[in-house]
Amino acid sequence: MKQEQIDALRHLPIPDQGMLIDGQWAAAASGQTLPVVSPIDGQQLCTIAAAGQPDVDRAVQAARRSFGQGVWSRMAPAERKKILHRIADRIEAHHAELAVLGVRDNGTEIAMAWKAEPGSAAGTFRYYAECVDKVNGEIAPTPDGTLGLIHKEAVGVVGAIVPWNFPLMIGAWKIAPALAAGNSVVLKPSEDASLSLLRLAQLCLDAGLPPGVLNVVTGTGAEAGEALARHMDVDILTFTGSGPVGRMLLKASAESNLKRVYLELGGKSPNVVFDDAPDLAQAAKVSAMGIYRNSGQVCVAGARLLVQRSVHDEFVDRLHKIAASLRVGDPLDVSTEIGAVSSARQLAKNLAAVQTAQQQGARLRVGGGALQPVAGGSYMAPALFDGVTPDMTLAREEVFGPVLAVLPFDVEADAVRLANDSTYGLASAVWTGSLSRAHRMVRAIKAGVVHVNTYGGPDITVPLGGVRQSGNGHDKSMHALDKYLDLKTAWIQL
C-alpha cells in the first residue's frame, strides 16, 4: 500500500450507479436516486438508485428463475469452485480500487480498509470455493431392510442486508457461503455504503457468475429493505445491523412467508483486564484500538472496559495517553490512525452519547468532541470515560462510535457479573496470565467470541455469532453454510 497509489485513485470521478438485476444494470423503476456523500469532506460522489417494491420484485424473480433453471444450483461443484476462485482473483486484481472506493464511501482509515475489505473479501471467496465440493450428505444407521439418506440441498433465494461499516467484508461473509451452497442471492447494501458492493457485483459477472444468481438492489431500508424482508418468494434473510431493525425483520417474516431470519445485531462487548495480565502496556494498546479503530464503528468493539481496581488508575492513564496521541484525519492518508465517522448523522449520535454520559456523572478523561481535520468531513476525537457505573446509559447501550466506558472491579466473580450484565452477547476479551482463569472466564462469559490476551483478529476459519440480543446464526467458518442448506431425508424400503 503506497500513498501514491492511493492518491491516483482518490479523485477519480464515480458515475451514477444503477442496480444489478438478472445480469443487467438498471435504474429504479421510479427513476428516483439517492445522493452518495463522502464523510471525508461532505462532498457528493455520485448517486445510487433508490429501489422500491417493483425493483425488489424483479430482483427476486431473477434470483428465483436462475435457481429454478439450475444454471448455478445444479452446476457441478467443481465448476462452481472455479468461478468462486475467479471472483477472488478479480477482487485481488482490483484491490486498491476497491479499498479506495470503499473509504471514499464510508470513511474507514485506509490502513484498516486495505486488509479488512478487499483483502478479507478475497480470502472469504477462496475459503468457500474450497468448501463447495466438501459438503456431503449422510447415511443414517437404519434398521435392516431400510436405507436412510440425509441430503443437503440449497435453500433457494437468499436475501442479504449488510451494513455500512465493513460492506465488502460482511457482504462477502454472506454472499460467498450462500453461493457456495448453490443458492441465488438478492443483496441490499446500506444506502450509506453501496459502492464497493456494486463494483463487486460487476466483478462477479466478469468472473462468469451466471446472470440472476447475484442481484443487487440499492436504496433505503424503509423501502428496499422492507420490500425484501416481506417478499413472499425469499426463503432466507440474513442481516447485520441494529437491534431495532432486526426486530422489524423478524416481524416482517412473521407477517409474510415465515422466511428464516439470521441476525447479527452488535453488542456492548466487555473487555476484562486482570491485574495479572502479562503485559499491561500491550493490553492498553490493543484495548484502545479494540474500540477506537474505524471510529468505533465495529460490531465487536470492546466498548466496556472492566479493569481490576488494583491496576485501574495505571491502566486508565495508559489509555489516556494512547487516546490523546491517536492521529484522527483524512482516511486516505496512510499515516492516519483513525478515519472519519461514517456520516454527519452518526457523528451527531456519538456526540449526544458523550453529552448523556457527562450528564449522568461519568468523567470524560479525553476527547469526545467533533474535529475538522478535513473541511466538511465528519470526525471525532476518541473519547475515554471513567467513573462509569453499570446503570449508566454508556454502560448499557451501543454507541457505535469511538467512546470507551471504563468500570472497575475487585475480584473475578465481580468481573463475571459485570461482563454478563448486558442484554448483548457478541464478543468479549480477557487479559490474564493465569491459564486456569482464562478457561474459567471463557466458560463464564456469555458471548459468541471470547478473546484471551488479544482483541480482534479471528479469521474466516472460526464462526462469528452472538447470543442474547446480539442475534442468532453464524457468519464465517464451515458453520456459516448451515444457514444456506436444507436437510432432506430419504427413507427407502429395500
Residues assigned a catalytic role: 264
Cell 483483502, residue?
A: 119
Name the residue among 390, 452, 403 with its Cα closest to residue 288.
403
What whole-number distance in Å separates Cα of residue 186 and Cα of residue 197?
12
| DSSP assignment string, 7-39 | HHHHT-----B-EEETTEEE--TT--EEEEE-T
- Cα 370 from Cα 368, distance rounded (Å): 7
Cα–Cα nearest to 41, from 253, 466, 344, 266: 344
The region that residue 129 occupies, defined by phi over 0 for left and psi between -120 and 50 for alpha, beta otherwise, is: alpha
Burial per residue of 331-351, b for 16 or more beta-carbon CB atoms within 10 angstroms, e otherwise: bbbbebbbbbbbbeebbeebb
- By DSSP bridging, strand 24-26 and strand 236-240 are unpaired
- At residue 476, what is the residue type? K
Kind of pairing between the strands at 138-140 and 146-154: antiparallel
| Grid coordinates belonging to 366 | 479525553
What grid cell was written down for 452?
Answer: 484471551
466 — phi, psi (to 5°)?
A: -115, 170
DSSP structure string for 357-410: HHHTT-EEEE--SEE-SSTT--EE--EEEES--TTSHHHHS---SSEEEEEEES
